[in-house]
Structure 1
Amino acid sequence: MVDAAFSGFRAYAGRDARIRKHRTNLRAALRGLAVGTVLLLAPALTAVVLLLASADPHRTYAALTAGGLGYLLPLALYATAVLLSLAAYLLLPFRASTLAMVVGLGPLTLLRPLAVAAACLGAFLTGGWTSFLIGVLAGAVVLSVEPLVHRHWYRPAHATSDSAAARH
């Protein structure tokens, strides 16, 4: 959910040249949070269906629990690195915080898909195919929030030429 809020913020970032953007930043983060919350229902409902359809729900639950822990370990390591970079950005003087942004937060954002892939692998190794299915679905959801928010709210309007407008 936190990642979804950051994804909403990233979808909006750089679209507005105003200095004071607290409300619009908050709105963008809330949009990401809303989209992420709705989309995360898919893996949750899939897990419920798998549990209900399972011949041995206790075994399936144990596999999903183990897979969930395997999924969380790489993400916890990634989140720790992000939080340390974010703390450096927020607490250090201007030049050092800019360096923290360039050296830490920028590359870590680019590494998100690899962190999700590592989480999916962790789910598979600890919980098997059932956990892997839920992990891949959750990973796809996490990685799709930013593009969906961007496409729905922040995509630039297409300019139409006079000749194209005249044809319609």
Structure 2
Amino acid sequence: MTPAIPLALLGPVDAAFSGSRAYAGSDARIRKQQATTRAALRGLAVGTVLLLAPTLTAALLLPTARDGARTYETLSAGGIGYLLPLTVHAVAVLLSLAAYFALPFRGSTLAMVIGLGPLTLLRPLAIAVACLGAVLNGGGWSALLVGATAGATVLCVEPAVHRRWYHHAR
């Protein structure tokens, strides 16, 4: 199984959420669904462009390697190791989002405070564990390089969107 497809789907979804987080708190209006959607699309656009970096890194590693088939196997193994911790984190986020949308006001507030807030703060740790998983699963330095590039990229989306569109709001 190649982990490229799930990772290619997870990256843009994370970027869209990053765009929403960059916008969060910058607008005091009650009805702001349209602005939140616009922020998510901005995050998606920035993330899609930035996610070209790990894609190009992997694409350059394969033809320059001595044994392309072996490098592909190690990148695949590393990708699976990278994907597992991120999947656990994504499932926890989805469960918190489901609780946020399904529960009444007090319950949804609790889901935000004990679920979504801490999980957002744990994103860099989840990415670091994913990089470690890539190495431990047999990916070696090539998977670590691609994983670290991808991790740095997704962590840059939210600040980039905030600086470009929302830095003036306080």
* Counterpart check, 1:155 vs 2:167: yes
Whole-angstrom CA distance in 2 between matches of 1:85 and 1:69: 24
Name 2:131's counterpart in structure 1: 120
SS at match of 2:26: coil
TM value normalised by structure 2:
0.91
1:145 is matched by which residue type in structure 2? V
Identity within the alignment, %: 71
SS at match of 2:29: coil
Question: Between Structure 1 and Structure 2, how many residues are aligned?
Answer: 158
Whole-angstrom CA distance in 2 between matches of 1:54 and 1:99: 50
Name 1:83's counterpart in structure 2: 94
C-alpha RMSD of the superposition: 1.1
Tell me which of 14, 18, 24 is aligned to 2:35. Answer: 24
| Superposition deviation, residue 107 in structure 1 | 0.6
Runs of 4+ in 1 over 4 A off after TM superposition: none
Name 1:34's counterpart in structure 2: 45
Name 1:55's counterpart in structure 2: 66
**Deviations, residues 80-123 of structure 1 (Å, cap 9, x unaligned):** 11000000000011111110110100111000000000001011
Whole-angstrom CA distance in 2 between matches of 1:74 and 1:21: 33
Whole-angstrom CA distance in 2 between matches of 1:46 and 1:129: 12
Structure 1: tracts of 5 or more residues without a match:
158-168
**Deviations, residues 55-88 of structure 1 (Å, cap 9, x unaligned):** 1100000000000000000000000110000000
Whole-angstrom CA distance in 1 between matches of 2:130 and 2:31: 37
1:23 is matched by which residue type in structure 2? Q
TM value normalised by structure 1:
0.92
Structure 2: tracts of 5 or more residues without a match:
1-11
